[in-house]
Amino acid sequence: MAFAGGYESRAAERPVGLSHVMGILSFMFLAMAAGAFLVPPSMSWPAFFVEIALLFILPGMARRDRAQGRTASSGTAGALALVFAAAAGGFLAPVVQGLDQTGAGGSLLAEAAVISFTVFALFGLYGLTTRRNLGTLSRFLMIALLVLLGILVLSFFFSRFFSPFGLLIGIGGAALFAIMTALDFQRAKYAGADDAVMVAVSIFLDFVNLFVFILDILMIFGGGRGRR
């Protein structure tokens, strides 16, 4: 996770990074929605492995596009980012399609989407407008993310012990990715056009995880438990 200040010199050379990021991000959201509603639930785990593989492939493709002078819209990395977003939606397909089959579930899904986009927009706006260098939070956020991942892994194997803390885990996860949204939007503000794809992927992952944790919280209050 890079500091926001690290993008200043490149932004001076190619100052259209933010517009590129937002353009890519909008198409990634559409691809995610398509994956969530159109990918068969039985394909969720293959979609997950595609998503993980692309996390390692995308940085290399972005570097190759930069070396060849390609823009985010014409480069391989931009196209793969859409595949990545569709795969992320495909992994969520069992939960999304399962909820969408009932009236109550559909309302819950819509509520989670509205809350997630509201929180995402507010923290994104803060990241774009604040004069504070949010990059100073990077080390703390990385530690918090590792702790959260550790808790989620342990909860998978020891669900009986961690289940009473589900609400706290959900709130903590949502808060963490809301703050990371602000940080990554500040990175987008200072990013050069060549960084647009990877910054857009980072912001996209912030939203996906924010949505998952907020949906999890709402399902806990609704008497169920949903986890990505």
CA nearest neighbour of 77 among 199, 198, 183: 198
pLDDT in tens, the chain (228 residues): 333 344 444 444 444 567 888 889 999 999 999 999 999 999 999 999 999 999 999 988 888 877 777 766 557 888 999 999 999 999 999 999 999 888 888 999 999 999 999 999 999 999 999 999 998 998 999 999 999 988 888 877 776 666 777 888 899 999 999 999 999 999 888 876 667 888 999 999 999 999 999 999 998 887 544 444
Q: Is 83 exposed, middle or buried (0-12, 13-18, 19+ CB in 10 A)?
A: middle
Q: Which residues contact 112 (CB under 8 A, 6 or more apart)?
A: 211, 214, 215, 218
